[in-house]
């Protein structure tokens, strides 16, 4: 005779408050804290909170950088909240580039899926780590360092990027310097760039001042 023991489970766990928390799916309607979004009630969590299809769509590269970045960060993909990881998908047309940028506080690892890349990061003692990457190659970009990826090939390039943060951020040097209202003279003083060049790039990137 088979005696069911499934009642054991309630013996093992007689929690008075709430469900077991193996995850913390983002509840965008509740307060956010330093560790991420508040958790959705586990009883309302479904598998769809852990699945995201946005990275399956080719980005639109008909822009000046001939590139697009589609992200699966915690503000789009609620399942990664609090789990210390996220993904993104850069598409680059020939000549496309993800210009010099940093991810504040997250390391990045990439895998090339289509085409080829010229990629580099610069260490804080000013050395350049530059490499041509082909399909199947992986490269690691240490946390917080300036880097870029460029499609020097004749075909589209596609790679995937993983970050060890659900919210790695992305700071593009060009936008930080030229895409806002920071006065040209201050940009010049803090970058040694020629004021005329700054004004030229402000016009291109929508900045003023």
- The residues in 49-108 that bind a copy of itself, with binding defined as CB under 8 A, are 50-57, 59-60, 63-65, 68-73, 75-77, 79-87, 89, 97, 99-100, 102-105, 107-108
Report in angstroms how near the CB of residue 129 gets to a copy of itself at its nearest: 4
Q: Tell whether residue 113 is a contact of a copy of itself (CB under 8 A).
A: yes
The DSSP code sequence of 68-105 is: EEEEE-TTT-GGGTTSS-EEEEEEE-TT-EEEEEE-TT
Residue 150: name the closest of 101, 89, 98 by CA. Answer: 98
Contact 129, 122 (CB under 8 A): yes
Q: Tell whether residue 44 is a contact of a copy of itself (CB under 8 A).
A: no
Computed on alpha carbons and rounded to an integer, the radius of gyration of the chain in Å comes to 22
Contact 158, 104 (CB under 8 A): no
Report in angstroms how near the CB of residue 198 gets to a copy of itself at its nearest: 10
Q: Tell whether residue 142 is a contact of a copy of itself (CB under 8 A).
A: yes
Q: Tell whether residue 156 is a contact of a copy of itself (CB under 8 A).
A: no
Residues with Cβ within 8 Å of 205's Cβ and at least 6 positions away in sequence, in order, are 174, 175, 178, 179
Which of 32, 94, 153, 156 touches a copy of itself by CB under 8 A? 32
Give me the 168-207 binding string for a copy of itself, x by CB under 8 A, dash otherwise: -xxxxxxxxx-xxxx---x--xxxxxx--x--xx-xxxxx
Q: Does the annotation flag 17 for ligand binding?
A: no
Residues with Cβ within 8 Å of 15's Cβ and at least 6 positions away in sequence, in order, are none
Binding residues for Mn(2+): 101, 103, 108, 147
């Amino acid at each position: 005779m088979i005696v069911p023991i499934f009642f054991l489970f309630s013996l093992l766990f007689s929690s008075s408050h709430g469900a077991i928390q193996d995850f913390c799916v983002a509840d965008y309607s509740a307060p956010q804290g330093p560790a991420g979004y508040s958790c959705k009630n586990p009883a309302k969590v479904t598998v769809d909170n852990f699945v995201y299809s946005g990275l399956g769509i080719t980005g639109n590269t008909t822009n000046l950088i001939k590139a697009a970045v589609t992200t699966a960060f915690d503000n789009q993909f609620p399942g990664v909240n609090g789990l210390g990881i996220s993904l993104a998908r850069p598409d680059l047309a020939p000549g496309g580039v993800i210009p010099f940028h940093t991810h504040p506080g997250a390391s990045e690892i990439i895998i090339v899926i289509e085409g080829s890349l010229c990629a580099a990061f610069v260490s804080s003692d000013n050395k350049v780590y530059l490499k041509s990457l082909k399909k199947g190659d992986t490269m690691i970009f240490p946390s917080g360092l300036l880097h870029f990826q460029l499609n020097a090939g004749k075909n589209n390039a596609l790679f995937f990027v993983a970050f060890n943060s659900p919210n790695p951020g992305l700071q593009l040097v060009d936008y930080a310097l030229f895409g806002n209202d920071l006065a040209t003279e201050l940009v010049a003083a803090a970058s040694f760039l020629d004021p005329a060049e700054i004004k030229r790039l402000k016009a291109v990137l929508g900045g003023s001042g």
